[in-house]
Amino acid sequence: MSKILVTGGAGFIGSNFVRLLLDETDHEVINLDALTYAGNLENLADLESNPRYSFVRADISLRSEVEAAFSSAPDKSSPEMVVHFAAESHVDRSVLDASAFVNTNVLGTQVLIDVARARGVERFLHVSTDEVYGSLGATGKFTEQTPLQPNSPYSASKTGSDLLVRAAHHTHGFPAMITRCSNNYGPYQFPEKLIPLMIANALEGQKLPVYGDGLNVRDWIYVGDHCAALLAVLMQGKAGEVYNIGGNEERENIWVVKTILELLGKGEELIEYVKDRPGHDRRYAIDGSKIAQELGWKPAHDFAGGLRETVTWYLDNKDWWQRVRSGAYREYYKRQYGSD
Ligand code: NAD
Ligand code: TDX
């Protein structure tokens, strides 16, 4: 039984991954998270009494805080594995101000590499994105050999982090793998991203803002499938390798928005076409043959079923997203831990 340090475990994908580790493995889990606007410990409230789970509030760009998290076990022994989710993750926010993206995604990743290396971590999984490859035209898919051509400040900062991880492996033999996944959806996604935003707006009778012509394409993957792929790479992946992860479910944004309205029994008059995102990538699509062939992983959910389940989750957990939208979720940490 190893200790696994998960960074960004209070966010969307990280909290789903922490849950998977506790449910399906015997490992101990240390959740390191700074609790930015996107970090919400309510996502994991039911796990707090689990003796295999602990939380440490730390900012990955601050070495002393990362060191303390690595020594947080009762016997001070370091985690054997690290899974690195912590990041600023929203493209639109990076267009408004890129500074936090550079600080967390680039500098923070290097701090984490430095501490993990000094502590002799045996496996390091860096969770990245298909957006590092840039944008596709009408045809083709991203492979692991596709040149890196990030277009947004967010994707440029993620590319920077990928290259730092790559260099640490090349220079120091740092035992790291990189994964690049397509667009996730599912429970606990912050309602600034397309799918939860559209569900929440529709339920509250607000307009659904569709950027540009609505014909941009994303390849959607259910978050549980992404987490299962990450576990496979963490346990069986080869150090120094990159693995693409995709849902094989390409859809135009407008199709996604109309399907959500249909699932909720709402009318299309709620749709509002708005000014396009600056530099908006047209199309993403993942070639997932490497992970399928080498690790035997494939997504288990189709988009139609996964989206239905997700809409049901947001209907059943109205309180969760309403607290997020109102900011009330931030009181939870104070109540639970007695400080901001
Ligand atoms: P999220 O925004 O929901 O969560 C990010 C988490 O990181 C939050 O809990 C936040 O508090 C934490 N964090 C931010 N800055 C920090 C810092 N300086 N120190 C410590 N913790 C910090 O993001 P997400 O959607 O769950 O994405 C997780 C990771 O997966 C990111 O690295 C992202 O680039 C990558 N990814 C996301 C998607 C997607 O569709 N959401 C797809 C591919 C890859
Ligand atoms: O209000 C909106 N209207 C709209 O048309 C929002 C928020 C988005 N969109 C469009 C932009 C994109 O074409 O929907 C598509 C999806 O947008 P986002 O949910 O913001 O995701 P995206 O920009 O594709 O990036 C996501 O996938 C890759 C994640 O946020 C990243 O963290 C991940 O790396």
pLDDT at position 108 = 99
Cβ of residue 4 lying under 6 Å from some atom of ligand 1:
no
Residue having the nearest C-alpha atom to atom 4 of ligand 1: 11
Q: Does the global pTM surpass 0.95?
A: yes
The domain limits of the chain are 3-337
Ligand nearest to the CA of 284: 2
pLDDT at position 332 = 67
Of 59, 65, 130, 249, which one is the catalytic site residue? 130
pLDDT at position 329 = 73
pLDDT at position 37 = 95
Question: Annotated catalytic, 252?
Answer: no
Question: Annotated catalytic, 294?
Answer: no
Question: Annotated catalytic, 97?
Answer: no
pLDDT at position 328 = 77
Residue having the nearest C-alpha atom to atom 1 of ligand 1: 11
From CA 58, how far away is CA 177, in angstroms rounded? 23
Of 59, 65, 88, 131, which one is the catalytic site residue? 131
Q: Give the number of the atom of ligand 1 that is nearest the alpha carbon of residue 183.
A: 40
Q: Which CATH architecture has domain 3-337?
A: 3-Layer(aba) Sandwich (3.40)
pLDDT at position 290 = 98
pLDDT at position 330 = 77
Cβ of residue 197 lying under 6 Å from some atom of ligand 2:
yes
Under the phi-then-psi rule, with left for phi > 0, alpha for psi from -120 to 50, and beta for the rest, what region is 327? left
Of 133, 154, 188, 329, which one is the catalytic site residue? 154
Cβ of residue 129 lying under 6 Å from some atom of ligand 2:
yes
The pair of three-digit structure tokens given for residue 217, joined into one six-digit string:
């394409």
pLDDT at position 336 = 64
Q: Give the number of the atom of ligand 1 that is nearest the alpha carbon of residue 37.
A: 11
pLDDT at position 334 = 73
Amino acid residing at 268: E
Q: Give the number of the atom of ligand 1 that is nearest the alpha carbon of residue 84.
A: 32
Average pLDDT across each block of 10 residues of the chain; the chain has 340 residues. List them in order. 96 98 97 96 94 97 98 96 98 96 98 98 98 97 98 98 98 98 98 96 96 98 98 98 98 98 98 97 98 98 97 97 86 68
pLDDT at position 339 = 63
